[in-house]
Amino acid sequence: MAGDKMIKIGIIGGTGVYDPKILDHVHQVETMTPYGAVSYKVGDFEGKSIAFIPRHGSKHSIAPHLINYRANIWAMKKIGVRRILATAAVGSLHLPMKLGDFVLVDQFIDFTKNRISTFHEGGKRGVVHVDLTNPYCDSLRDKLLTVGKDIGLEIHGRGTYICTEGPRFETPAEIAMFAKFGGHLVGMTNVPEVVLAREAEICYGTIAMVTNFAAGVSPNPLTYGEVIKIMNQNTENLKMLLMNTIKNIDIEADCNCQHALAEYGGFKI
């Protein structure tokens, strides 16, 4: 990318997070991938170049099951990103995780149905069985937790994310089942994003913001407006968490996540 500093940090913004004004010298960029073109913004913060992708598009026009996850992660890898901070609006199945709280996800359970979760489907790229014992980067989660506590946020250091297909909300029966399986949060976008990031050997951390209680947990029907209202109320806190964490990231530091496919010879672009 001529004219740009190396871009080592990426932000993938979920519902309600479309504001690249947190960055300076913002400009639009497009990168081609084997899965299509990806448009994103690049800007500077604290001397670091940041790539920003709005997961649902700048106008929230892409449904969760239609997001081009492979293109997004491939584009991040292609431009040199080594660490991704992802945000997600979630429903809570766990009463201690209250509206407006932040949760740093450490495990997921995949209930999606029609998504491709790998770059390696055979052929020239072969088949890969990536280890997901710790699917989210421990180092990024530790940094986020330290910063969150330092700035006084209500933040939980661990949580299990149930990923559903969407775009509909879940039924109370489904939520009751997810709770029995050990789920704390429910959302529609974290899988396959987290899996693809690990295959691409990129450190990946998710900041989940509780915007509603899940069906059957809350006595009231769920609405998209409720999600946006809570998100808007907490946007400034989310920005503080993101930017203060980026200040503390050593963009050159090594991590096990960046060698996830070592036994396969590494990830090939």
Q: Tokens 């190396």 correspond to what residue?
A: 6
- Cα dihedral sign, 192-59-54-224: negative
- Tell whether 264 is covered by a domain: no
Average pLDDT over residues 124-144: 96
- Tell whether 262 is covered by a domain: no
Mean pLDDT (the chain, rounded): 91
- Tell whether 42 is covered by a domain: yes
Quick one: 154 exposed, middle or buried, by C-beta within 10 A (0-12, 13-18, 19+)? middle
Number of structural domains the chain divides into: 1
- Tell whether 2 is covered by a domain: no
Model confidence pLDDT, tens digit, residues 189-200: 999 999 999 999
Which whole-number Å values give the CA distances from 217 to 103, 156, 233, in the listed order? 18, 19, 22
pTM of the model: 0.92
The predicted structure's pLDDT at residue 75: 97
- Tell whether 135 is covered by a domain: yes
Residue 4 has pLDDT above 60, yes or no: no
Q: Give the span between the Cα atoms of 167 and 188, in whole angstroms.
A: 7
Decide: 237 and 211 in contact? Cβ < 8 Å: no
- The phi, psi pair for 64, rounded to 5°, reads -55, -40
The predicted structure's pLDDT at residue 2: 37
- Tell whether 260 is covered by a domain: no
| Higher per-residue confidence, 234 vs 189 | 189
Total residue count of the chain as it appears in this document:
269
Picking from 45, 49, 43, the residue whose alpha carbon sits closest to that of residue 27 is 43
pLDDT band at 3 (very low <50, low <70, confident <90, very high): very low
pLDDT band at 57 (very low <50, low <70, confident <90, very high): confident
pLDDT band at 17 (very low <50, low <70, confident <90, very high): low
The predicted structure's pLDDT at residue 222: 67
Name the β-bridge partners of 213.
92
Model confidence pLDDT, tens digit, residues 212-231: 899 888 777 767 777 777 77
CATH number, domain of 195, equals 3.40.50.1580
Largest Cα–Cα distance in the chain?
54
Residue 232 has pLDDT above 90, yes or no: no
- Tell whether 122 is covered by a domain: yes
Q: Give the span between the Cα atoms of 68 and 84, in whole angstroms.
A: 16
- Tell whether 269 is covered by a domain: no
Looking at residue 204, its amino acid is Y
Decide: 38 and 75 in contact? Cβ < 8 Å: yes
Average pLDDT over residues 146-161: 97
Domain region containing 36: 7-252
